[in-house]
């Protein structure tokens, strides 16, 4: 997910996406522990997506408070 795509989302959609991505990350980690994933780098990609979403959410919170 690109930053430009994230900026187009509403604040509620970003919060929902964060929850969904965290669930996805947990499932991927569990699956990888049981049997190796075909592409273990995808775990890293999901973590980066969560960070991007959190960054955009935080920047929106800061601009609202000003």
Mean pLDDT score across all residues of the chain: 95
Q: Tell me what the mean pLDDT of segment 40-52 comes to.
A: 96
Give the pLDDT confidence of 12-34 residue by residue, as tens digits: 999 999 999 999 999 999 999 99
pTM: 0.91
Side-chain-facing half-sphere of 66: CA atoms under 13 Å:
6
CATH number, residue 47:
1.10.287
pLDDT at res. 66: 81
Give the pLDDT confidence of 4-16 residue by residue, as tens digits: 999 999 999 999 9
Helices and strands (DSSP H and E) totals, the chain: 3, 0
At residue 61, does pLDDT exceed 90? yes
Structural domain of 15: 3-65
**Total structural domains in the chain?**
1
Residue with tokens 């919170």: 61
């Amino acid at each position: 997910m690109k930053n430009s795509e994230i900026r187009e989302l509403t604040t509620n959609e970003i919060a929902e996406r964060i929850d969904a991505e965290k669930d996805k990350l947990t499932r991927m980690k569990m699956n990888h522990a049981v049997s190796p994933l075909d592409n273990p780098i995808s775990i890293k990609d999901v973590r980066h997506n969560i960070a991007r979403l959190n960054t955009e959410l935080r920047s929106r919170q800061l601009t609202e408070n000003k």
